Chains A and B, each alone.
Chain A
Amino acid sequence: MNKLTLVVARSLVVAALFAVPLFADDDEALKKDLTAVIALQGLPCGQVVDVTELAKDDYAATCKDGNKYRVYMNAEGRVVVEKRK
């Protein structure tokens, strides 16, 4: 019993070790994506440093230069970037 618990605990640790870099990788990809989207709209940003998911296909992005944007897809399938205060 004790041995089993030990094995489970170790597997959980291993899983966690794998999961953290994966999430971080996804997060970086999203930041990069949003950075590109904001730049494509010609808006100042530099680089997205923080992202919060507001809803599906709806994100709040904070830029390195302090600008904040809401990036979302509207009903017509267009990606819209709105400046937030």
Chain B
Amino acid sequence: MKTWSIAVVYSAVLLMLPLAGCASHKAEPPVAQPQAVATQPETPEPVSTPQEAAASKPTDASPAPSEAAPAGKPATAPAPSGSTQATKPATTPAPNGATPAPKAATKTAPPVARTPTPPVRPPTPAAPAVASTAAAPLDLTALKEKLKATKAIGVFTKISLKNQVDDLMKQFSDYYQGKAKTTMPELRRSYDLLLMKVLSLLQDSDQKLASEVVSSREAIWALLSDPKKFATLQG
């Protein structure tokens, strides 16, 4: 009688174990959240508008990054609405100087420069774009670590992607040194293609990281497409 019950218990356990093993695999395929990824690409587009706006002011465009350093010293801060546009940029980066990313500082500067008071949200499409970039400044190292750590991409695939990233960096380097015949639009196309490869690998299994990559897209491009910033990346 005892042996019977032991045998029944054993067989029940043996049956349950593979079932439990199979059940654990089912959780993987989450469905239909590509919207998060799909909606993100639209946000970077408006980012160009503040840059263009910044470009319209000749003094803003180039000195903006370097202004981040003096901006940290609030001694020059005054002249809120005051005199000329030349003085305005000096006032605006001051609050943003605290933020680590120079990119955010340059982007937030122009809208504030137009109106003297900080709450410059009313300008319709530009303001949300600035807000989104300011909310998520580009943290390249963190993104890199997340990509290294994600299980959505296999080891070989990661190495292969890294090879392609290195190739692209080489192309940029050659372009800036005048060695290559590639044009900036071609580089942009290669960059977009590479990013799409990464996204296609991530979007099913690691949607959060996929949307982070999407939202960093323009910021990364801004680093690559600027020779000075690119030089810092390499060094």
Interface residues of A (CB under 8 A from B): 10, 13-14, 17-18, 21, 25, 29-30, 32-34, 36-37, 40-41, 57, 71, 73, 77-79
Q: What residue of chain B has the Cβ atom nearest to residue A59's Cβ?
A: B156
Interface residues of B (CB under 8 A from A): 10, 13-14, 17-18, 21-22, 25, 153-157, 159-161, 163-164, 197, 201
Question: What's the least CB distance linking B2 to chain A, in Å?
Answer: 12
Supposing A40-B164, A78-B163 touch, asked if A17 and B14 sit within 8 A by C-beta, the answer is yes
Contacts of B10 in A (CB 8 A): 10
Q: How long is the Cα–Cα vector from A13 to B18 in the complex, in angstroms?
A: 11
B160 close to A13 (CB less than 8 A): no
Question: What's the least CB distance linking B204 to chain A, in Å?
Answer: 11
Supposing A10-B10, A14-B17, A17-B14 touch, asked if A36 and B153 sit within 8 A by C-beta, the answer is yes
Listed by A's residue number, 26 A-B pairs whose Cβ atoms lie within 8 Å are A10-B14, A14-B14, A14-B17, A17-B14, A17-B18, A18-B21, A21-B25, A29-B154, A30-B154, A33-B157, A34-B154, A34-B156, A36-B156, A36-B157, A36-B160, A37-B154, A37-B156, A40-B164, A41-B160, A57-B156, A71-B156, A73-B156, A73-B159, A79-B156, A79-B159, A79-B160
Contacts of B159 in A (CB 8 A): 73, 77-79
B18 close to A33 (CB less than 8 A): no
Q: DSSP class of A's interface residues: helix, strand, loop or mixed?
A: helix
Contacts of B17 in A (CB 8 A): 14, 17-18
Supposing A40-B160, A73-B159, A77-B159 touch, asked if A13 and B14 sit within 8 A by C-beta, the answer is yes
Question: What's the least CB distance linking B203 to chain A, in Å?
Answer: 13
A36 close to B14 (CB less than 8 A): no
Contacts of B153 in A (CB 8 A): 36
Contacts of A13 in B (CB 8 A): 14
Supposing A13-B14, A36-B201 touch, asked if A21 and B154 sit within 8 A by C-beta, the answer is no
Contacts of A71 in B (CB 8 A): 156
Question: What's the least CB distance linking B197 to chain A, in Å?
Answer: 6
Q: How long is the Cα–Cα vector from A17 to B14 in the complex, in angstroms?
A: 8
A79 close to B163 (CB less than 8 A): yes
3 nearest A-B residue pairs (beta carbon): A33-B154, A79-B160, A36-B157
Given contacts A25-B25, A78-B163, could you give 11 more A-B pairs where the C-beta distance is less than 8 Å? A14-B14, A29-B154, A36-B153, A36-B154, A36-B157, A37-B157, A40-B164, A40-B197, A41-B160, A57-B156, A73-B159
